[in-house]
Amino acid sequence: MESPINNSPEKTIAENQFLVIFGSTGDLTGRKLLPALFRLYINHLLPQHFVILGTGRKDLTNEAYHDHVKEVLNRFIPSMEEKETTLIPGFLDLIYYQHVNNKEQADFEGLKNRIYTLSKEKGISPNIIFYFSIPPFLYETVAANLIAYGLHEEKDGWRRIIVEKPFGYSYETAVELDRKLHAGFEEHQIYRIDHYLGKETVQNIMVTRFANGFFEPIWDRKFIDRIEITAAEKIGVENRGGYYETAGALRDMVQNHLLEVLAVIAMEPPVVFDSQSIRNETVKVLQALRPLSAEEVASNVIRGQYIETAAEGKILKGYREEKDVSPDSKTETFVALKVFIDNWRWSDIPFYIRTGKQLPEQVTEVVIHLKPAPHQLFKELCACQPTNMIILRIQPDAGIAIDFGMKVPGEGYKVQNVNMAFHYADLATKEIPDAYERLLLDCMFGDATLFARDDAVKASWKFVDKILNAWKEDPEIPLYFYECNAWGPVEVRQLFEDPSQDWKPPYINL
Ligand code: BG6
């Protein structure tokens, strides 16, 4: 079923509906969902009649759950203004709580009755989003319990589920999870959330490419030398060691977020701007990723792990010393890989993807390195040849910069790199919405454009599985160690034919 594109959320309001949150007292709900819903509420973007029904194992009254909501809003929106605080009671009026043990099928009957009672009381048709803000091992159980009580059927209203990553642990488990969800839900009802696609700046990549006449003509192998996609984090795994041990950087960041960004960078222009056409193009990129053989994994993928480091007068913990991490863990906290997309546009152009924790700064950016001018006129006069780059900064200080050569004033022809930069914040007349605000609103409208489709998830797992299997089967493939505050292990250089292309973001301080 085709879904509409939510182009103007300011002008339209989604139809009346319910949002049922599984895991409503959990970390993600407190940190992301409730603050996003509150911001949508204060910006008058929620449906006119709307109910948020929090569920969980705890036996809470509505009032007790309201106290919890107040507490998390104050904690996770620290910059809340006085006048926004006065809007909290109105927001709480939308919120109810229902005891549900996700593993107890009978509790879903109580949930269904509660939804229908509220539906009558409030005069809201049972259009329902079920948000799975729960550990992944419960996804299948909750889906099965909803199906058991017919809560997937769209007889008297639509039904949608939002599923958080990780969507599977490997290709096989992703296929299996999909099969279980599809036992009741159809693909148009399943919204696999990837918060990177909710970032304004990632969406802006499509606008940059397809709304302008001058980027797209050079966006291919004839003009581009290589592309780097970087997501560096300054923080370590913090209190998520238990989860991270089962994931590692490749599953945590590359399989989903960074391959989705790569797909948006490399996709063909869709013929029309609707969710199916866009996702038809992004999935083709993922399906065209050149699979890595076991030998290529050893040479084209570098993995690393941060170690205890003395810095800034303190000792930064190594990964193996983090809470819930095994002292001899081989989990990678850093990964850099060289990948190719086997199609007409990108044949033999390397894409470098890299991500890691405990790096010198937090920066996510895409750098497009253009080929040098074909005939170097100034080479004889000056050794300094300019590099040409297009830098798409996703965060922080979102923006775009173009880096090119200019003549240094004065005699001779000395060339120097300069840049023209645009700061995304200059365009915003209001606060740039958080990814969760955008994605929740899109799901309320039934716009699935920025959610991962089943074929895309499978295609990216297929690619990533080859790497995971090679690591599992060949213990000789090294795990390199790096100090905190370094740009990953020095061995990353092996990925480049010319080691001067080594990783040193950010290129420009926007
Ligand atoms: C999450 C990962 O999906 O994305 C985290 O699980 C990571 O490990 C986070 O820190 C990064 O997101 P952002 O928006 O801070 O770049």
pLDDT digits (tens, 9 = 90+) for 231-289: 999 999 998 999 999 999 999 999 999 999 999 999 999 999 888 999 999 999 999 99
Tell me what the mean pLDDT of segment 425-453 comes to.
89
pLDDT digits (tens, 9 = 90+) for 184-209: 999 999 999 999 999 988 889 999 99
- Residue 217 pLDDT: 95
Query: How high is the mean pLDDT of the chain?
Result: 92
Atom 2 in ligand 1: residue holding the nearest Cα: 252
Q: Is the CB of 233 under 6 A from ligand 1?
A: yes
Ligand 1: centre distance to CA 359 (Å): 14
Give residues with Cβ within 8 angstroms of 18, minimum separation 6.
50, 51, 52, 53, 115, 118, 119, 124, 126, 127, 128, 129
Ligand 1: centre distance to CA 238 (Å): 12
Q: What is the pTM of this model?
A: 0.92
- Residue 3 pLDDT: 44
Report residue 126's pLDDT band, with 50, 70 and 90 as the boundaries. very high
Report residue 311's pLDDT band, with 50, 70 and 90 as the boundaries. confident
- Residue 2 pLDDT: 43
- Residue 469 pLDDT: 97
| Most ligand 1 atoms within 8 A of CB, residue of 167, 257, 260, 319 to mutate | 257
Query: Among residues 64, 57, 34, which one has the least CA distance to residue 142?
Result: 57
Task: State the closest ligand 1 atom to the C-alpha of 394, by its place in the atom list counted from 1.
Answer: 16
Ligand 1: centre distance to CA 108 (Å): 32
Atom 8 in ligand 1: residue holding the nearest Cα: 252
Lookup: tokens for 359: 């790096």
d(CA 26, CA 39): 19
Q: Is 394 exposed, middle or buried (0-12, 13-18, 19+ CB in 10 A)?
A: buried
pLDDT digits (tens, 9 = 90+) for 414-431: 888 898 999 888 887 667
Report residue 476's pLDDT band, with 50, 70 and 90 as the boundaries. very high
- Residue 376 pLDDT: 83
Ligand 1: centre distance to CA 233 (Å): 8
Asked if the model's pLDDT at residue 510 lies above 70, the reply is no
d(CA 467, CA 301): 8
188 tagged catalytic: no
Q: Is the CB of 107 under 6 A from ligand 1?
A: no
Atom 9 in ligand 1: residue holding the nearest Cα: 253
pLDDT digits (tens, 9 = 90+) for 374-403: 888 887 777 777 789 999 999 898 899 999
Options 152, 195, 257, 369, the catalytic residue: 257
